[in-house]
Amino acid sequence: MGPWHWGDGMGWWMLFGGLLWLAFWGSLIYLALALVRSRGEDREEPRSPDAAEIVRRRYARGEIDRDEYERLRKDLAA
């Protein structure tokens, strides 16, 4: 008899099948946890721009002139 015919039981096939089931359930749990974590990250609120960023954006859009921009920037730095 060859090495695959050890007794009347399932032998190595039973061990192989068990390992496959273990890999299947492990992968399923891993994917479920990854999905839950990724949804939790999506719920974070976007960061609000700070005052200096707002002043830079207003200057870039032309809402304030250079003198106003410099004055506001100095006030915020103090």
Question: Which sequence spans correspond to the domains of the chain?
Answer: 50-78
- In this prediction, what percent of the chain has a pLDDT beyond 90? 54
Q: For residues 3-9, give the mean pLDDT.
A: 59
Q: What is the mean pLDDT of the chain?
A: 84
Q: Helices 66-77 & 51-61, crossing angle to 10 degrees?
A: 170
Specify the long-range contacts of residues 15-18, CB closer than 8 Å, at least 24 apart.
Answer: none
Give the range among 15-24, 43-52, 59-68 with minimum mean pLDDT: 43-52
Tell me, what's the pLDDT at 68?
A: 95
Using pLDDT thresholds of 50, 70 and 90, give the confidence band for residue 60.
very high
CB 51, CB 76: distance < 8 Å: yes
